[in-house]
Amino acid sequence: MVASTTTVSENQQQHAEIVVSELFNFIIAQGDADYIGEPVSQLEHSLQAAHFAEKSGADEDTILGALLHDIGRFIPAADTMPTMIAPNGTYVGREAHEVVGEKYLRGLGFSEKICQLVGAHVIAKRYLTAVDEKYYDSLSQSSKTTLKFQGGPFNAEQVKEAQKDPWLEQKLAVRRWDDLAKEIDLKTTPLEYYHHMAVDSLIREQNRKAQCV
């Protein structure tokens, strides 16, 4: 029985390592790719978001949610999403990348919290622009442009519904880190630093689901 348990554990570890390596390869492939007109690359943006999350004392799943919040831009499924083009002809991203990212991570077996944090960072922007008059002014021009494609600020009914969400504060935090993650020459930890964190998170979720069966 002990040997069997050890084998299962080793299999879990190996599977999680493979999943995370493939996931991170999608992020690495972006490299120095432009981040829709911002002064940082897409990779720098992802690492900065995770950096701010960790500095704030966030739990590991929230840090991973910040790191992976744009994963829907990187995966092959992103090529099927409609593009968003500003009135001046500037490309400003892909529609619904947050929805694609959430679905993708859920399929890999990540926790519901990570998946929802990734899926909500656009909704969080719409919420914040509705409840905080100064928030819209703080957005970059690119982010203001994408907001128009994303449905604009929430109305009062949508705000009230969002406030029922037990993870609302974490979702808003990821959004704010997303907004901050555009600093030139900010020193951050490399992507590899988060590898074991992601592997451990996957294994925890696998074990949690196994206990619920």
> pLDDT (tens digit, 0 to 9) for every residue of the chain, 213 residues total?
333 344 447 888 999 999 999 999 988 887 665 555 566 788 898 999 999 999 999 999 999 999 999 898 877 655 555 454 444 444 445 547 788 899 999 999 999 999 999 999 889 999 999 999 899 998 878 778 888 888 899 999 999 999 999 999 999 999 999 889 988 889 999 999 999 999 999 999 999 888 886
Alpha helices in 31-120, H assignment, sequence order: 42-55, 60-67, 97-108, 112-119
pLDDT of the residue at 83: 54
DSSP assignment letter at 34: B
pLDDT of the residue at 139: 85
pLDDT of the residue at 191: 95
What are the two backbone dihedrals, phi and then psi, of residue 116, each rounded to the nearest 5 degrees?
-70, -35
The token pair that represents 212 in the structure block? 């619920």
Q: Does the CA dihedral 170-111-66-86 come out positive or negative? A: negative
Domain ranges of the chain: 2-212
CA distance 6 to 91: 50
pLDDT of the residue at 31: 64
Which residue reads 């555009």 in tokens? 182
Q: Is residue 97 a contact partner of residue 125, using CB atoms and an 8 Å limit? A: no
pLDDT of the residue at 32: 65
Report pTM.
Answer: 0.83
The CATH number for 2-212, chosen from 1.10.3210.10, 1.10.4080.10, 1.10.3720.10, 3.40.190.10, is 1.10.3210.10
Nearest to 120 by CA among 69, 57, 75: 69
The token pair that represents 145 in the structure block? 């442009």
85: which residues sit within 8 A by CB, 6+ positions away? 91, 92
Q: Is residue 197 a contact partner of residue 60, using CB atoms and an 8 Å limit? A: yes
